[in-house]
Amino acid sequence: MFQTIAAWIGQYISYFPLVIFISLFLGGFNLPISEDIIVITAALLCRQEKASIPSFYAALYFGAVISDYLVYFWGWLLGHGRISGKFFSKLISENNISRISNALERHGFLTFLFGRFIPFGIRNIISMTSGFVNFPFYKFAFFDAIAAVCNISALFWLVYFLGQRGSHFMKIIGIVLLLLFIGFSIYVMRSEKFFKSSQKRHSAE
């Protein structure tokens, strides 16, 4: 059975970059498609089937970036009231808008860089919130393009050289970054509340 599947994959391996690109592109319509799983699959195919690395890598990169631009566009339409928010309700919430807006204002590019390494859909939330709050598109496109190169390259080459161990390593990094992001967000919100309450006290005095 496995040999049959492997033979089928080997026979049609040249079509897989197109499949990868289309899959990532569809992720821009908020479909539950995991970019990380696609990158891992592409790296394993290149490692085991000796597939063309440039074509797979180009499909991964352009598929991921165009998908992010689509998500930004949906956020922009939501922010301008052109479409309803029911379909994207999980991505756009007051809490997400507040946290991501603060992160974009304070850290700019680092928000995109660390956000791409965090699992559980954080990168889509960042892209959509960027469009929703009218974060300049030229900045978004530039920051996101660089962050995508860093994330895709790191995951692809780790899996290519280390196999499944590389993907486990990246998952650990992503979870650690997620915990740091949550902790930092809580710290920022508490600091702002403390600052506002102290301002009220001073004004009352």
Q: What is the pLDDT of residues 136-151, one digit of tens each?
A: 999 999 999 999 999 8
pTM of the model: 0.74
Give the pLDDT of residue 62: 96
Instruction: Look at residue 77 and tell me whether its pLDDT is greater than 50.
Output: yes
> How is residue 93 annotated by DSSP?
-
**Residue 4: what pLDDT?**
58
- In contact, 155 and 40? CB cutoff 8 Å: yes
Q: For 62, list phi and psi in degrees, rounded to 5.
A: -70, -35
How many whole angstroms separate alpha carbon 3 and alpha carbon 68?
36
- Work out the pLDDT band at 91, boundaries 50, 70, 90: low
> Has residue 167 got a pLDDT over 70?
no
pLDDT at position 122, please?
80
| pLDDT at 185 > cutoff 90 | no
Lowest mean pLDDT among 13-22, 94-103, 163-172: 163-172
Calculate mean pLDDT across residues 126-139.
90
Q: What is the C-alpha separation between 27 and 121, in angstroms, rounded?
A: 11
pLDDT score of 73: 93
49 within 8 A of 10, measured Cβ to Cβ: yes
- Binned at pLDDT 50, 70 and 90, residue 107 comes out as confident
Q: Does residue 53 have a pLDDT over 70?
A: yes
- Structure confidence at residue 46 as a pLDDT band (50, 70, 90): confident
More confident position, 24 or 198: 24
Please compute, for residue 149, the number of CA atoms within 13 A of its CA located in the half-sphere on the CB side. 5
